[in-house]
Amino acid sequence: MPTRVIFSTDYGAPALTGEVGKLIAVLDACLKDGTTALSITSLTQTGGLATAVCSAALGMALTSTSGMTRKLTISGATQAGYNIEADCTITATDTFTFAVDSGTVSPATGSPMMNIAGSGWTKPYTGTNKAAYKMPTGSNEHYLRVDDNTVANIARLRGYETMSDVDTGTGLLPTDAQLSGGDYFMKSSAASATARAWIFVCYGDFFYFISDKSGDSFVSAYPFAFGGGCSLVSGDVYDTILKAYASNSASLTNWATLVTAYTTATPGMYMARAYTQTGTSVELSQGVSAHTNGGANSMAASAGQPYPAPLGMITSPLYIHETANGLRGVMRGLAVPMHNKPLNHGDVWKPTTGDLAGKTFIAIKCYNVSEFFIEI
């Protein structure tokens, strides 16, 4: 499964508001259904480069300004050569290009359209503004239960190892003893129909969802993450993580808080079982080195290296620890700059040297005190 990136501004992306059920509508599109399709009015190719002109604006930043390509799915053309998922270059508000076989008949006929595909998850159980999403086949295949019904602007999140209906399962993540009812996620600071900006990034069986509870500037970014594949322990099939918030009034810095000792838990952060593959959900802590955070108490906060620096951008993985047992893994696709918020929200960073060379990251402002980079 390719990395999936969806923005709230993309055509066909559902709106996230402080109303019941709205987080489920967004996760349906991101995890399983994909975004609403947009008609392509002209689809041609010259020399193996296809150009698609759409019937409405794509809502996507131009590649020349954003530094990223977008992975889009093209379907509905009579000529099968156009019907692919491709890395696309946005060249105008309603136009994108992508590579095809140079022998593909031009122009395309039929009813071509484009959308952003889902991420391969399923939704086996539902209730009234409740849903259970299952990780893709071949992964840990654990579940994320979303209760989007109790408080209009706040959802409850919980992982399960198995489920038999939307309210029943085993292997709770977290357990009630750790946090009764599960983690919290604030969709909006108000119970209103005002839309909030959001970003979704998924690596198959693990995803980040980042929203701005107060608007669209990401001064108040409010992320959560769920999925597996974060462990560095061989054969670890219980490394499913839920990382959200420990209360409905939690400080937004909780998600970005770093610890100086691995025995100090990060609020709202849990893994399905201990590294021994036994027991129940365990608390996690996070830091930017195996032992300490280097002086800062939040990702890319006031303490850190100057930027620009002689070695350019310096980053660290976000290490995750069992509070009882020490280092277990790293958060997937996430890099923490060792500088004080060096980039603007939404900036694209493409390292050319070091372990991250050839990758592309987007900078995320987490509230006004921290910043992290997510691989896209």
Residue 339 phi, psi dihedral angles, 5° rounding:
-135, 165
**What domains are defined for the chain?**
36-115 (2.40.30), 122-375 (no CATH)
Identify the helix (H) or strand (E) that includes residue 27: helix 22-27
pLDDT above 60 for 162: yes
Q: What pLDDT is attached to residue 295?
A: 54
Helix, strand or coil for residue 29?
helix
Task: Name the band, by pLDDT with cuts 50, 70 and 90, for residue 293.
Answer: very low
Count of beta carbons in the 10 Å neighbourhood of residue 142: 26
Task: Name the band, by pLDDT with cuts 50, 70 and 90, for residue 251.
Answer: low
pLDDT in tens, 54-83: 999 999 999 888 888 999 999 999 999 999
Residue 223 phi, psi dihedral angles, 5° rounding:
-90, 160
Q: How much of the chain, in percent, has pLDDT values that exceed 70?
A: 95
Query: How many angstroms separate the CA atoms of 372 and 376, rounded?
Result: 13
Query: How many angstroms separate the CA atoms of 142 and 136, rounded?
Result: 9
pLDDT above 50 for 281: yes
Q: Which amino acid is at 215?
A: G
Q: What pLDDT is attached to residue 253?
A: 59
Rg, C-alpha atoms of the chain: 21
Query: How many angstroms separate the CA atoms of 344 and 342, rounded?
Result: 7
Pairing type for strands 206-212 and 269-271 reads unpaired
**In 9-22, which positions are buried (b, 16+ CB within 10 angstroms) versus exposed (e)?**
ebbbbbebbbbbbb
**What's the DSSP call for residue 205?**
S
Query: How many angstroms separate the CA atoms of 43 and 52, rounded?
Result: 5
Instruction: Give the residue with greater pLDDT, 145 vs 264.
Output: 145
- What DSSP string runs through 161-195? SEEEETTEEES-BS-TTTSTT-EEEES-SSSSS--
Instruction: Give the residue with greater pLDDT, 291 vs 148.
Output: 148
Mean pLDDT of 130-137: 98
Residue with tokens 């029943």: 168
Least confident of 149-163, 181-195, 257-271: 257-271
Q: Do residues 22 and 30 lie in contact, with contact meaning Cβ atoms separated by under 8 Å? A: no
Identify the helix (H) or strand (E) that includes residue 288: none
Q: What pLDDT is attached to residue 290?
A: 56
pLDDT above 50 for 213: yes
User: Mean pLDDT, the chain, as a whole number?
Assistant: 92
281 CB-near residues (< 8 Å, 6+ apart): 159, 171, 172, 173, 174, 175, 178, 270, 271, 272, 273
Q: What pLDDT is attached to residue 296?
A: 60
Instruction: Give the residue with greater pLDDT, 1 vs 128.
Output: 128
pLDDT in tens, 313-360: 989 999 999 999 999 999 999 999 988 889 988 899 999 988 999 999
**What's the DSSP call for residue 256?**
G
pLDDT above 60 for 130: yes
Query: How many angstroms separate the CA atoms of 211 and 301, rounded?
Result: 20
pLDDT above 90 for 184: yes
Decide: residue 290, CB within 10 A, 0-12 exposed, 13-18 middle, 19+ buried: exposed
Q: What pLDDT is attached to residue 291?
A: 45
pLDDT above 90 for 95: yes
Q: Do residues 250 and 268 lie in contact, with contact meaning Cβ atoms separated by under 8 Å? A: yes
Would you state the structure tokens that stand for residue 153, as one six-digit string? 């602007």
